[in-house]
Each structure stands twice: as C-alpha cells, then as structure tokens.
C-alpha cells in the first residue's frame, strides 16, 4: 500500500519552455501532497504544500508564479515549471499523505522526476 | 545553525557490520521522527517512524529517539550490500506537518 507515482521520470527541455510533472497516489486518497526539489548530494528542500481543492502554500523563496501547483483531486497533484531555465534543473520529488490512514502523519514519496533544462 | 544536522559521510562498512546513523536537532518541538532510505536517482522510502522518545525495532533496523539530548539514531544490524544507499532523517513538530530533513548519510556496505 501507500504507493505514489510520478510522471515523467525524466524530462529534458529547452530554456523558456514549461514542463508539467504529475504526482499520483495509487492506492489511497492524498489529502495533502508536498513538492520537494533535491540537488545532487543534498537533502530534500520543501517547495510547497498543497491540500486538495485549495491553493498551495509555498515555502519562503519559492516563486509561486514560476512553480504552479494544482491539486485538483484526491489522487493527483501537478507541478508546472513555467519558463524553465538551466538553474531549474533538479530532481523534483512529490510526497503524499492521507490523515485517515493509520500512521497518516507519515509521507510517502514518489520516485522523482529529473528535469534538465538546456 | 541548521535545524537538523546529519553527517553526510560517506560511511563505508564491511558486510555484516552494525551500522549506526545519527542526527541531532535544535527544535525541541519536534515530536515525530522518521528515517528514509534513498537509492541513487530514486525517491525516499520510509523505513522507520517514531513518535516522541523511545525505541522501535523492525527486522534488522532499530530507531532510537532521545528527546532530552535532541538526538536520534538508526541502527542496522547484519548490514548487507543492498543496504548501500543514502539515509535521511526527518522530523516534524506537528502531526502531518512539514518535514525537516537532515542532509543524508551516504552508506556503502562492501561485500
């Protein structure tokens, strides 16, 4: 149980284009989803928290107009990197939790999406 | 000072060794403590979850939390080459709240 998928697993795009990353909870309803980015040899940095049906809460320093988050259903959240630049190249990871599950305070992570902006 | 400190390693041990991984933290409000394992180019996998102080055991893994010292540990017994990965500690002050991660310790278990 508690499986989270991400799509695509890897994407390469040109500078200036937009990229959408999907995060799905496959066997539970995710009341809350989180988006992280991770640079090589570094830890996960939380970008934003989204609750189904409401606006995402962004961490300090994260541009909400650049990183658009939509949590339209209890099983799907999307992160769109708009007008991507090479400095946006990173490993993006989502996580999800369902407070109704026993141990629902824990987060279950997707496999990550590696974004490379040329 | 970071909220959560974790030695990044790398840590190299022979197969069968007992591995000790640790994190210290500064926020006394943290109550929920987790250990994640992350293989290269993959998402983190939850290994252990502990609430408040105490020990928790699951197979070859034991998690310890000492809130008085603001120190948590993960022990791996009879380590295997398949245990080679980066181990991340994470903690939160609220149930289901934002997780604060350590930097991760890179572990290599040599056959």
pLDDT tens-place string over residues A78-101:
999 999 999 999 999 999 987 665
- Residue A20: C-alpha distances to residues B2, B30, B46, B84 (Å): 32, 34, 26, 32
Write the residue in B34, B98, B101 that is nearest to A106 by C-beta: B34
Distance CA A51, CA A77 (A): 9
Structure tokens at A84: 């991507």
pLDDT of B34 reads: 92
Closest by Cα among B89, B74, B83, B75 to B34? B89
C-alpha triplet A93, B34, B109: angle, nearest 5°: 85
Token look-up 């926020």 returns B27
Please say if the pLDDT value at position B23 is more than 70. yes
Residue A6 near residue A23 (C-beta atoms within 8 A): yes
pLDDT of A28 reads: 83
| Contact: B43, A111; criterion CB under 8 Å | yes
pLDDT tens by residue, B48-86: 988 888 899 999 999 999 999 999 999 999 999 999 999
Average pLDDT over residues B27-53: 91
Cα dihedral B102/B73/A103/A26 (nearest 10)? 50
Distance CA B63, CA A43 (A): 20
pLDDT tens by residue, A37-94: 998 888 899 999 998 888 899 999 999 999 999 988 889 999 999 999 999 999 999 9
Mutation pick from B32, B43, B63, B86 vs chain A, by most beta carbons of A within 10 Å, is B43
Please say if the pLDDT value at position B38 is more than 70. yes
Structure tokens at B47: 């290994």
Nearest CA in chain A to B87: A43
pLDDT tens by residue, A8-23: 999 999 999 999 999 9
């Amino acid at each position: 149980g508690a499986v989270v998928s991400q799509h695509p697993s890897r994407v390469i795009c040109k500078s200036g284009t937009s990229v959408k990353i999907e995060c799905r909870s496959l066997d539970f309803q995710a009341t809350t989803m989180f988006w992280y980015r991770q640079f090589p040899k570094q830890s996960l940095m939380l970008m934003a928290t989204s609750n189904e049906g409401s606006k995402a809460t962004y961490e300090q320093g994260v541009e909400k107009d650049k990183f658009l988050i939509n949590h339209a259903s209890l099983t799907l959240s999307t992160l769109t990197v708009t007008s991507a630049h090479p400095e946006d190249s990173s490993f993006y990871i989502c996580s999800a939790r369902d407070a109704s599950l026993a141990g629902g305070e824990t987060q279950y992570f997707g496999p990550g999406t590696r974004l490379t902006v040329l | 000072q970071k909220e959560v400190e974790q030695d990044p390693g790398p840590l190299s041990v022979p197969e069968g060794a007992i591995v000790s991984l640790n994190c210290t933290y500064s926020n006394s409000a943290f109550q929920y403590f987790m250990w994640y394992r992350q293989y290269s180019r993959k998402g983190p996998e939850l290994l252990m979850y502990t609430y408040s102080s105490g020990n928790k055991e699951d197979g070859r893994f034991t998690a310890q939390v000492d809130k008085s010292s603001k120190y948590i540990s993960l022990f791996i017994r009879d380590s295997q080459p398949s245990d080679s990965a980066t181990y991340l500690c994470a903690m939160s002050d609220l149930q289901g709240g934002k997780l604060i991660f350590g930097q991760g310790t890179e572990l290599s278990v040599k056959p």
